[in-house]
């Protein structure tokens, strides 16, 4: 392989950084990282976590809520009980809290996981023009895809991408 072949493309480069950032998360259920990119310039990084100065999941434990979700399997609808940790501010929301609107206009967000409905809704109003994610989030996928289409935002899954091995942590699912 020549040097050009070994060199990471930009998608891989920024998604690797998002995964690196996700390792800062203290929630034992989810490690999500996101980065803001303008042109080829990194303008912000964020992960899911409790507000600053407030005990996080590693100190206070996850704050679990149980919800029933409608799941479709082979045309059958089924209610499944799911647990979620609500202690953290999501990575995408933290990214919006710690970046400036002017930096976000026309920018790209790389995020390790497909945004949930609330994050997608906020991103759609944030000036960001493109969202690139890796792992899927089936629960909200359909309505999020529709929103992105409606808003004219580029919404891409990096299929075939392999995260750096040291960034994958054990999580309870």
* Binding site residue list: 90, 116, 119
Whichever of 37 and 62 has its CB closer to Zn ion, that residue is: 62
Residues 45-104 close enough to bind Zn ion by CB under 5 A: 57, 62, 85, 87, 90
Distance CA 43, CA 47 (A): 14
Each residue 2-41 as x (binds Zn ion by CB under 5 A) or -, in order, gives -------------------------x--------------
Catalytic member of 77, 92, 130, 142 = 92
Whichever of 8 and 54 has its CB closer to Zn ion, that residue is: 54
Whichever of 20 and 116 has its CB closer to Zn ion, that residue is: 116
CA nearest neighbour of 108 among 2, 7, 13, 3: 13
The DSSP letter of residue 89 is B
Distance CA 86, CA 161 (A): 28
Distance CA 11, CA 14 (A): 5
Q: What angle do the packed helices 138-151 and 117-124 form, to 10 degrees?
A: 20
92 counts as catalytic: yes
For binding to Zn ion (CB under 5 A), which residues are involved?
Answer: 27, 57, 62, 85, 87, 90, 116, 119
Task: Give me the active site residues, please.
Answer: 92
């Amino acid at each position: 392989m020549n040097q050009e072949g070994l060199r990471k493309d930009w998608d891989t480069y920024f998604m690797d950084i998002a995964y690196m950032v996700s390792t800062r998360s203290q929630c034992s259920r989810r490690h999500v990282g996101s980065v803001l990119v303008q042109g080829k310039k990194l303008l912000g990084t964020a992960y899911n976590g409790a507000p600053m100065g407030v005990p996080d999941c590693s100190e206070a434990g996850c704050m679990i809520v149980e919800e029933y979700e409608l799941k479709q399997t082979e045309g059958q609808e089924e209610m499944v009980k799911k647990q979620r940790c609500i202690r953290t501010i999501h990575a995408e929301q933290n990214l919006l809290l710690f970046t400036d609107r002017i930096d976000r206009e026309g920018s790209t967000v790389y995020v390790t996981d497909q945004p949930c409905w609330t994050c997608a809704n906020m991103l759609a109003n944030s000036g960001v023009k493109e969202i690139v994610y890796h792992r899927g989030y089936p629960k909200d996928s359909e309505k999020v895809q529709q929103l992105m289409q409606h808003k004219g935002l580029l919404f891409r899954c990096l299929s075939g991408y392999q995260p750096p091995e040291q960034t994958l942590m054990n999580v309870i699912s």
